[in-house]
Structure 1
Amino acid sequence: MKIVSFCIIVASFIVCIKGLKCMNCYSSGSFEDCDVNGKLNQCMPNQGSCETVVRRSGSQMTVMKGCKNSRACRDNQMQNTRYSGRSTQCNADQINSVCTCCCNKDMCNAGAPTCVEYYRPAQPLQDCPQVPQNFPHGNIECHNENRGGAVCEYQCTAKDYGVWPPKRTTNVCLANGTWAHEEPCCTRPCPPYFLFDAIMMFHFGGPNGEQQLENTLQVFGGVPLAEDAFKEAAFYFSGEPIESSVMKFNEYGANATRMVQLLKERIRVVNEGGMNVGAAIQYAMDNLFIPEAGARDDRVPKSISIITNRNPDDNAKEIAEEARRRGILIYFFGTEEDGYIFDHEKILDITGEEEHIYIWGQAFNTLTPDLVTDLNNHFCQNPCDHVLHDHN
């Protein structure tokens, strides 16, 4: 008696850990609509069956799928043959019909139910394209491989990663041999994990330059770094870029503390020479947006930020337009203190967009809501379009 009780406890424990998985939907208009827009549910330990219920009233069909207690499901299915009207409760010859089908394997209620002959597909189901074996930062579990009616479940296992699009954790092979959705991906949430390569070009001068620069540098330590997120290169400039100040994308790994340390060691206040923005932009494109400096490929967006408390001395319109033609976004972050006024028209010639100009009365020391919204619009639309799938 003790041994039997132990086995029941062990068996119950296993069911609890590895409960049945069933497709779940409410009031769908077809089997395909149910699978495409429904979701995969983990059943409770006392739910040993996947149930499909099809209600028909005239030409209107309603499909419901979900987990069910095995005995209750079996009792419901037995009602299919119960006499009702001139035939049975589950029928094809009356206005109203209710049919129930049960099965007891993971994801077995995907597709049309097989216990009712006239709901079975008239044509053989077509296979879908093979599912990639590699799913970076996660795994894929497919029921029935890539055959018609197959269901694949996607799970992200790496820290901070989640399936994108949100809640799109399953995919179904439709009867016509196409997957219901594009393949999802595992990605970190955006924000705060913005995916782009950013070059920061600094020019601070004057009596308040040291404090303004110090406050500004603190901002960049708070943006998460990763091979599939934000990476930064930087230098300061006057008439020409100061090459000894250059920090490349590949100098600090994903260590934000080390990145800020390098910035503080290399970026300096400039109290002599002009402010040649055009030369700085040209240098950034030629020497930093290259693989040797750690810049990533064209899947990753690019930006250049000019961070300063001074107006440009040159006319950088032409080279800025060339940068934007290459798809590089240009931002201007300016600090106006003690009555200093920026030349807005000249700055707009550089950025090309009003939304990329940010002017503060004090030092730039935080990501404002407007800036975060702009970053979201540019870099958080669909991470699967440009996320790096081949990084470690």
Structure 2
Amino acid sequence: MKIVAFCFVVGSFIACTKGLKCMTCYTTGSFEDCDVNGKLKQCMPNQDSCETVVRRSGSHMTVMKGCKNSRACENNQMQNRKYSGRSTQCNADQINSVCTCCCNDDLCNGGAPTCVEHYKPTQPLLDCPQVRENFPHGKIECYNENKAGALCEYQCTAKDYAVWPPKRTTNVCLANGTWAHEEPCCARPCPPYYLFDNILMFHFGGEDGTQQLENTLNMFSSSPIAEDALKEAALYFSGEPIESSVVKFNEYGADLTRMVQLIKERIKAVNEGGPDVGAAIQYAMDNLFIPEAGARDDRVPKSITILTNRNPDDDATEVAEEARRRGILIYFLGTEVDNYKFDREKILDITGEKEHIYIFGQSFNTLTADLLTDMTNHFCQNPCDHVLHDHN
């Protein structure tokens, strides 16, 4: 039984108890189905029993578990012996049966009810593998250890982390000695926490080039970055990449504000020739996708994003193909103004995929739904298998 304490707060008595915790569920399946799909519920102060009610009509069985006032639960359990037909209300020899069992400890109503002989397991109950003590970015609380019917609750305590898969915050030890689900993990949601190294390559020409560049730079002020999530480098290219514009992956730690500051300070509209995309891609592979510039190892996907309002001046097909052979995804984000048109076929030779080409109007200051979906498909896998998160 749980002991209820009371506190005196601002002239009032308020219950200060953690209270009983019971499995709560309703199913037309089995006892295990009820546990696997149910919830561990914090009972109200006046609910000091856990109740299991089994209703059977022929082969159809309904199981209900939850919190109950102990006196009410005991009254219901007494009805098990009430005469009904040729036997009792709770029976195994009639078409209809209603059985109730009560108990008074945390999660004591997990598994089959023990107060009814014909519902007791006929096979020995097996223990499940021990649950690990360390749960990165969170904590685990288990009831009944790793015995059959045991339940473990998973909670994430680190900022921006949540249990994955979503809503899978509990796990139940089944009678056959296996846990009902694979163990969850604490992970940050993807999106917005994508995992990849991305190089932003800018070129904006023409009378409105400077203003379009400024509008574009504002788009990158809210993308979450982290050592185990998205990291970005940047450069401005014209006839050749502008060395003074380069921002490396390792220049700002995981400080988004600092990254945006560096990009806005260094990326300027400098047009000393037409946009040489091939030279910019080659520069990125040789000088930025390397450990010395802060690029991470091969476990982390790589991409290049070209942001421009002009067609490439060069034939970048060969170097772009080499980048793609290395597993680097190439995206093209362009703006068309004053009847200016992009050469779609030439751009496709660079990206290799139509889905990686995004053409906007006057300017853009946000990512489109299609682009976000594509990024999610490429960079959001099972977060419990995240190559840089400690989930072991």
Does the pair score TM above 0.5? Answer: yes
In structure 2, relative to structure 1, the CA distance for the partners of 1:353 and 1:20 (3 Å cut) is: farther
User: Following the alignment from structure 1 to structure 2, what is the Cα–Cα distance between the partners of residues 61 and 219?
Assistant: 57
Q: Which residue of 2 aligns with 1:65?
A: 65
Which aligned pairs between 1:345-364 and structure 2 lie closer than 5 A?
A: 345-364=345-364
Instruction: Give the conservation status (yes or no) of the 8 Å contact 1:144–1:150.
Output: yes
Deviations 1:264-289 (A, max 9, x none): 12222231234333343344344434
Residue 9 (str. 1) matches residue 12 (str. 2): no
Q: Secondary structure at the match of 2:23?
A: strand
Deviations 1:43-99 (A, max 9, x none): 212211222211111111111111222222222222222222222222222111112
Mark the runs of 5 or more structure 1 residues left unpaired by the alignment. 1-6
User: Following the alignment from structure 1 to structure 2, what is the Cα–Cα distance between the partners of residues 8 and 28?
Assistant: 38
Q: Which residue of 2 aligns with 1:253?
A: 253
Q: Which residue of 1 aligns with 2:158?
A: 158
User: Following the alignment from structure 1 to structure 2, what is the Cα–Cα distance between the partners of residues 246 and 186?
Assistant: 35
User: Following the alignment from structure 1 to structure 2, what is the Cα–Cα distance between the partners of residues 119 and 326?
Assistant: 61
Q: Which residue of 1 aligns with 2:328?
A: 328
Which aligned pairs between 1:80-91 and structure 2 lie closer than 5 A?
A: 80-91=80-91
User: Following the alignment from structure 1 to structure 2, what is the Cα–Cα distance between the partners of residues 223 and 149?
Assistant: 44
Which amino acid letter does the alignment assign opposite residue 304 of structure 1?
I
Instruction: Give the conservation status (yes or no) of the 8 Å contact 1:203–1:237.
Output: yes
Q: Which residue of 1 aligns with 2:268?
A: 268
User: Following the alignment from structure 2 to structure 1, what is the Cα–Cα distance between the partners of residues 254 and 25?
Assistant: 42
In structure 2, relative to structure 1, the CA distance for the partners of 1:277 and 1:107 (3 Å cut) is: farther
Q: Which residue of 2 aligns with 1:232?
A: 232
Q: Which residue of 2 aligns with 1:46?
A: 46
The offset of 1:246, in angstroms, is 2.5
The offset of 1:290, in angstroms, is 4.1
Q: Using the TM superposition, name which of 321-330 and 68-77 deviates more.
A: 321-330
Q: Which residue of 2 aligns with 1:22?
A: 22
Q: Secondary structure at the match of 1:214?
A: helix
Instruction: Give the conservation status (yes or no) of the 8 Å contact 2:46–2:69.
Output: yes
Q: Which residue of 2 aligns with 1:78?
A: 78
The offset of 1:230, in angstroms, is 2.7
Instruction: Give the conservation status (yes or no) of the 8 Å contact 2:51–2:101.
Output: yes
Q: Using the TM superposition, name which of 336-345 and 193-202 deviates more.
A: 193-202
In structure 2, relative to structure 1, the CA distance for the partners of 1:59 and 1:322 (3 Å cut) is: farther
Instruction: Give the conservation status (yes or no) of the 8 Å contact 1:216–1:363.
Output: yes
The offset of 1:322, in angstroms, is 4.2
Which amino acid letter does the alignment assign opposite residue 355 of structure 1?
E
Instruction: Give the conservation status (yes or no) of the 8 Å contact 2:200–2:235.
Output: yes
In structure 2, relative to structure 1, the CA distance for the partners of 1:191 and 1:272 (3 Å cut) is: same
Superposed CA RMSD: 2.7
Q: Secondary structure at the match of 2:251?
A: coil
Which aligned pairs between 1:159-308 and structure 2 lie closer than 5 A?
A: 159-308=159-308
User: Following the alignment from structure 2 to structure 1, what is the Cα–Cα distance between the partners of residues 291 and 103?
Assistant: 54
Instruction: Give the conservation status (yes or no) of the 8 Å contact 1:333–1:364.
Output: no
Q: Which residue of 1 aligns with 2:313?
A: 313
User: Following the alignment from structure 1 to structure 2, what is the Cα–Cα distance between the partners of residues 322 and 39?
Assistant: 53
In structure 2, relative to structure 1, the CA distance for the partners of 1:136 and 1:288 (3 Å cut) is: farther
The offset of 1:171, in angstroms, is 0.8
Instruction: Give the conservation status (yes or no) of the 8 Å contact 1:238–1:276.
Output: yes
Q: How many residues align?
A: 385
Q: Which residue of 2 aligns with 1:3?
A: none
Instruction: Give the conservation status (yes or no) of the 8 Å contact 1:205–1:310.
Output: yes
In structure 2, relative to structure 1, the CA distance for the partners of 1:284 and 1:18 (3 Å cut) is: farther
Q: Which residue of 2 aligns with 1:344?
A: 344
Instruction: Give the conservation status (yes or no) of the 8 Å contact 1:29–1:61.
Output: yes
Q: Secondary structure at the match of 1:80?
A: helix
User: Following the alignment from structure 1 to structure 2, what is the Cα–Cα distance between the partners of residues 176 and 354?
Assistant: 51
User: Following the alignment from structure 1 to structure 2, what is the Cα–Cα distance between the partners of residues 50 and 389?
Assistant: 39
Q: Which residue of 2 aligns with 1:124?
A: 124
Mark the runs of 5 or more structure 2 residues left unpaired by the alignment. none
Q: Secondary structure at the match of 1:384?
A: helix
In structure 2, relative to structure 1, the CA distance for the partners of 1:15 and 1:121 (3 Å cut) is: farther
Instruction: Give the conservation status (yes or no) of the 8 Å contact 1:305–1:330.
Output: yes
User: Following the alignment from structure 2 to structure 1, what is the Cα–Cα distance between the partners of residues 18 and 297?
Assistant: 42
Q: Secondary structure at the match of 2:129?
A: coil
User: Following the alignment from structure 2 to structure 1, what is the Cα–Cα distance between the partners of residues 149 and 346?
Assistant: 60
- % identical equivalent positions: 81
User: Following the alignment from structure 2 to structure 1, what is the Cα–Cα distance between the partners of residues 315 and 287?
Assistant: 21
Instruction: Give the conservation status (yes or no) of the 8 Å contact 1:16–1:45.
Output: no
Q: Which residue of 2 aligns with 1:34?
A: 34
The offset of 1:300, in angstroms, is 4.1
In structure 2, relative to structure 1, the CA distance for the partners of 1:28 and 1:168 (3 Å cut) is: farther
Which amino acid letter does the alignment assign opposite residue 106 of structure 2?
D
Which amino acid letter does the alignment assign opposite residue 201 of structure 2?
M
User: Following the alignment from structure 2 to structure 1, what is the Cα–Cα distance between the partners of residues 5 and 339?
Assistant: 81
Which amino acid letter does the alignment assign opposite residue 35 of structure 1?
D
Q: Which residue of 1 aligns with 2:113?
A: 113
User: Following the alignment from structure 1 to structure 2, what is the Cα–Cα distance between the partners of residues 197 and 311?
Assistant: 25
Instruction: Give the conservation status (yes or no) of the 8 Å contact 1:333–1:357.
Output: yes
The offset of 1:345, in angstroms, is 0.8
Deviations 1:189-243 (A, max 9, x none): 3433333332211122333222111111111111122334332121222344334
